Amino acid sequence: MNLKKYDAINTVSAGRSKMTVSFNRNGVISLSGLVVEILGLSKGVAKAVHLYRDEESPGDWYVGAASEKDGLLLRKNAGRGAIGYCFNSTTIARMVLEDLDWSEKGAAICRVVPNPVEVEGIGWLFPILISSARKPEL
């Protein structure tokens, strides 16, 4: 018998109970409901986000709320039962997937740290744990 254990570490659930961002090769980047709430999107405070990549440590990515003027504009996920928002950026999605050396066909789902870090000149950003990337499992 060869049993595979499914738990909170190897099974990523996207939705209100988890802070996740997913990236797919088509350029769709989705934010889970909890990320949307923490960024203030559910209250209409922000309707756009910025993603940041640390040039000194290219595998480190961050997400933060942005103005509609220069941010990546969000729309509600149209997916079946989807809770959250998404936007399109093939360039960013492919850069993240390259950082991951992602060979899977499906989206890479990454956890977001619930404790923001303050970056001088930018504000509060939430780290995206790129190393936590998993594909959706059933």
Residues 20-35 pLDDT 10s:
999 999 999 999 888 9
Which of 15-19, 36-40, 90-94 is modeled with the greatest confidence?
90-94
Count of the separate structural domains present in the chain: 1
The reply to whether 15 falls in a domain is no
Q: Which two tokens stand for residue 44?
A: 């209409």
User: Can you tell me whether residue 80 is helix, strand or coil?
Assistant: coil
The reply to whether 125 falls in a domain is yes
The reply to whether 4 falls in a domain is no
Q: Which two tokens stand for residue 56?
A: 């000194």
Q: Which two tokens stand for residue 54?
A: 């640390």
The reply to whether 3 falls in a domain is no
- Residues paired with 66 in a beta bridge: 48
Single-letter code of the amino acid located at 93 = A
The reply to whether 2 falls in a domain is no
- With beta carbons less than 8 A apart as the criterion, state whether 85 and 74 touch: yes
The reply to whether 61 falls in a domain is yes
The reply to whether 129 falls in a domain is yes
User: Can you tell me whether residue 107 is helix, strand or coil?
Assistant: coil
State the residue range of the domain holding 119. Answer: 20-134
Residues 30-89 pLDDT 10s:
998 889 888 887 665 558 999 999 988 878 999 999 888 889 998 887 666 566 789 999
